[in-house]
């Protein structure tokens, strides 16, 4: 069994999880979530979640970045896993820090690599292209999905304005 | 003692560190490094490292993001810790994925909050403002410092061009 306890290691200024037996320090740091707004002829690809949290609600394909991945690679992988689509990324839309969860979310603008081929991955009940006016705003899974869609709609002009594309909650 | 071994947990597709005793899954994910280019009247603040790796070489103030922090907060904290300066961030310069180290580095454009007051923090031998032509390129600690300085010099126009401001090595 692990015997971790919270201590300030020598030369550090913060409490860390330190193993009582071997001294191993388990640093905990924020995790990156990478995702994409995939659009086709003005329509946007959303996925209805098959898993908790927020099962049954609509989301953009997104998930935790894996070791060695670039955020762009993670976003493309998540689109592949959750919406069975191959996409090309075209720009960064926004960066959202969800402080409570220690998540830094990065969303990219994307288009289908070929035609608009997609489907429901394992964590998805249903994948669908929505015209802007048909987006089910009341059934969106997470606030950052709404923010990302709004910045997507506003275009790329905001990218030089840090306060506009980077937000913390 | 901890008894972790590498296994693919149920419902997952990748090997994770799983505790043999209690089943705890220690997910490992990339870490964010946040830093800043602080400039004053065209001069740039660099720090000579007092610690390994690359002790004695010049770097931009930067370091690992802590739990609950926004990248901007991390960048300001690192400038405070390494260069004893209070700064205001003005924009994102670049995002660098160092795949081998599973790091995603984010560098911001910054100015001093008041006058150009700075000094050497605990991990710094010396902090100094350099004119562009005086930057000691041969004594720069890490490649991402050079890339960041070059993008800083190029200005913010590249922010809508993903391939320009995001790089993977």
Residues in A closer than 8 angstroms to B66, CB to CB, are 14, 29-30
Cα nearest neighbour of A101 on chain B: B68
In sequence order, the β-bridge partners of residue A127 are: A47
- The answer to whether the Cβ–Cβ distance between A67 and B28 falls below 8 Å is yes
- The answer to whether the Cβ–Cβ distance between B64 and A160 falls below 8 Å is no
Residues in B closer than 8 angstroms to A87, CB to CB, are none
Question: What is the spatial distance between Cα A156 and Cα A166, in angstroms, rounded to a whole number?
Answer: 13
Q: Which helix (H) or strand (E) holds B35?
A: strand B31-40
Looking up tokens 């002790």 gives B55
Q: Which of A138-152, B5-19, B55-69, B142-156 has the lowest mean pLDDT?
A: B5-19
- If contacts are CB pairs under 8 Å, which of residues 110-139 in chain B contact chain A? none
- The answer to whether the Cβ–Cβ distance between A160 and B162 falls below 8 Å is no
Question: What is the spatial distance between Cα B43 and Cα A1, in angstroms, rounded to a whole number?
Answer: 54
Q: Which of B2, B91, B162 sits opposite A19 (nearest CB)?
A: B2
- The answer to whether the Cβ–Cβ distance between A104 and B31 falls below 8 Å is no
Compute the average pLDDT of residues A51-73.
97
Phi, then psi, of B9 in degrees rounded to 5: -65, 155
Question: How many Å lie between the alpha carbon of B96 and the closest alpha carbon of chain A?
Answer: 8
Structure tokens at B132: 């562009």
Question: What is the spatial distance between Cα B156 and Cα A161, in angstroms, rounded to a whole number?
Answer: 10
Q: Kindly give, in sequence order, each residue whose CB lies less than 8 Å from that of residue A10, ignoring residues fewer than 6 positions away.
A: none
Compute the average pLDDT of residues B44-65.
97
- Using alpha carbons only, what angle is made at residue A158 by residues A154 and A164, rounded to the nearest 5 degrees? 95
Indicate the pLDDT class of residue B110, thresholds 50, 70 and 90: very high
Question: How many Å lie between the alpha carbon of A130 and the closest alpha carbon of chain B?
Answer: 25
Phi, then psi, of A162 in degrees rounded to 5: -55, -45
Q: Which of A68-72, A123-127, B11-15 has the lowest mean pLDDT?
A: B11-15
Compute the average pLDDT of residues A52-64.
97
3-state secondary structure of A62: strand
Asked if B160 and B146 touch (Cβ cutoff 8 Å), the reply is no
Tell me whether B86 touches chain A (CB under 8 Å). Answer: no
**Which among B76, B65, B73 is positioned nearest to B31, based on CA atoms?**
B65
Q: Answer left, alpha or beta for residue A23, where phi above 0 means left and psi between -120 and 50 means alpha.
A: left
Asked if B54 and B123 touch (Cβ cutoff 8 Å), the reply is no
Interchain CB contacts (distance < 8 Å): A and B: 118
Question: What is the spatial distance between Cα B35 and Cα B125, in angstroms, rounded to a whole number?
Answer: 18
Please report the pLDDT score of residue A79 as a whole number.
98
Number of H helices, E strands in chain A: 3, 11
Please report the pLDDT score of residue A163 as a whole number.
85
pLDDT tens-digit series, residues A99-158: 999 999 999 999 999 989 999 999 999 999 999 999 999 999 999 999 999 999 988 656
Please report the pLDDT score of residue A2 as a whole number.
59
Neighbours of A135 (CB within 10 A): 18
Tell me whether A98 touches chain B (CB under 8 Å). Answer: no
Phi, then psi, of A116 in degrees rounded to 5: -80, 70
- The answer to whether the Cβ–Cβ distance between B160 and A159 falls below 8 Å is yes
ipTM for the assembly: 0.90
Q: Sign of the C-alpha dihedral, residues B145, B105, A66, A35? A: negative
Asked whether the predicted pLDDT for residue A1 surpasses 60, the reply is no
Compute the average pLDDT of residues A6-16.
83
Q: Which CATH number fits domain A31-168: 3.30.300.30, 3.90.79.10, 3.40.1400.10, 3.90.550.10?
A: 3.90.79.10
Tell me whether B70 touches chain A (CB under 8 Å). Answer: yes
Asked if B148 and B37 touch (Cβ cutoff 8 Å), the reply is yes
Compute the average pLDDT of residues B79-102.
96
Burial degree of A137 (CB within 10 A; 0-12, 13-18, 19+): exposed
- The answer to whether the Cβ–Cβ distance between A156 and B156 falls below 8 Å is no
- Domain extents for chain A? 31-168
């Amino acid at each position: 069994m692990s015997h971790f306890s919270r201590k300030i290691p020598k030369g550090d200024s913060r409490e860390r999880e330190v193993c009582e037996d071997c001294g191993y320090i388990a640093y905990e740091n924020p995790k990156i979530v990478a995702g994409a707004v995939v659009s086709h002829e003005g329509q946007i690809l959303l996925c209805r979640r098959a898993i908790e949290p927020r099962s049954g609600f609509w989301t953009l394909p997104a998930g935790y970045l894996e070791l060695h991945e670039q955020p762009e690679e993670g976003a493309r992988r998540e689109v592949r896993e959750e919406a069975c689509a191959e996409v090309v990324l075209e720009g960064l839309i926004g960066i959202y820090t969800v402080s409570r969860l220690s998540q830094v979310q990065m969303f990219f603008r994307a288009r289908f690599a070929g035609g608009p081929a997609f489907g429901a991955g394992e964590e998805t009940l249903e994948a669908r292209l929505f015209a802007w006016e048909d987006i089910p705003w009341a059934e969106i899974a997470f606030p950052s999905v709404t923010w990302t869609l709004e910045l997507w709609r506003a275009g790329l002009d905001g990218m030089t304005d840090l306060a506009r594309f980077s937000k913390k909650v």
